[in-house]
Structures are given as structure tokens and as C-alpha cells.
Amino acid sequence: MDMNSALECEKKSLKKLKKYRLPNRFKTIGIGVIVFSLVSIIVNKTSVDNGLFTQTAKYGILLGLLFISLSKEKIEDELMINLKMKSYTFAFVISVIITLTNLLFTFITSALFEKQMNVFKGIGDWQVLWFLLSIQLFYFEFLKRVSR
């Protein structure tokens, strides 16, 4: 394989990856997964065992949000792709700001009130991913409404 064909092959696979979206029905599947996970958490709260099961259900919520985020619109055209890209950028920036602000806030309050400068607890991976996906979905819906 020469250099040009290798580059062409790479370009094609990158294009495929960029265009990759799940079918529209995954939106419903995603909502179903979220509802199921939420119900599982609520039901499980009343029972004794709420360790591993609750944790799995929490990641189920993230999976549901990811399904909704990656699923196509009924008519997926360039406007929708454009709005989606804007919402991903916005969500990424806001999530980083929230994470950093939280980290800084925890650090300052712990230094002030606990007199320990080395306490550097940030928010967990689940919260960061939840922020990211929720902000993306809400902002995308907002952009869709505004562009009408």
C-alpha cells in the first residue's frame, strides 16, 4: 500500500466515524433505559442491597443519555448536524468549567474551614459524564427551538 492510498483509506474511515449516528429509534430505547434505571434505583433504595445494583443502574442512566445523544433526528440534515456540533462544544466547555470550579471551590472551602490545604476532592466521573451528556441534550433541544 503506497502513501496516497493509505491516506485515502484513513480519510474514508475518519469520514465514516464522523458521520456515525445511531438510528432514530435509539432515542426511545435511550429513554427506556433511563426510566428503567431510575425505577431500579428507587425500588432498590427500599431493599437492603443497594451497592453494586445502584451503581450499575447509575451507569445505565449514562448509557441511556448516550443513546439519545448519538441517535439521529427524524430528518437529519446539515442544520441538525451543525446544531449538534455546537451543543457538543458548549457541553464540553461548560462541563470543564463546572468541574474546575467545583475543584477550586472544594479546595478553597477545605483550606478555609478544615485548615487542610491538601484536601483536593473533585467531582466523580459519573457526575462529569452526566453533566456533559445532560448539558449537550438540553442545549441541543434549546438550539432546535431557537432555530425554528
Give the binding site for other proteins (CB under 8 A): 73, 75, 77-80, 82, 144, 146-148
CB 37 within 8 A of CB 57: yes
Task: Kindly tell me which of 21 and 144 has the beta carbon lying closer to other proteins.
Answer: 144
Q: Would you say how long the chain is, in residues?
A: 148
Least distance between other proteins and beta carbon 93 (Å): 22
Task: Kindly tell me which of 38 and 76 has the beta carbon lying closer to other proteins.
Answer: 76
Distances (CA, A) of 80 to 7, 136, 148: 29, 13, 12
Least distance between other proteins and beta carbon 144 (Å): 8
Least distance between other proteins and beta carbon 136 (Å): 19
Task: Kindly tell me which of 115 and 148 has the beta carbon lying closer to other proteins.
Answer: 148
CB 74 within 8 A of CB 24: yes
Task: Kindly tell me which of 49 and 77 has the beta carbon lying closer to other proteins.
Answer: 77
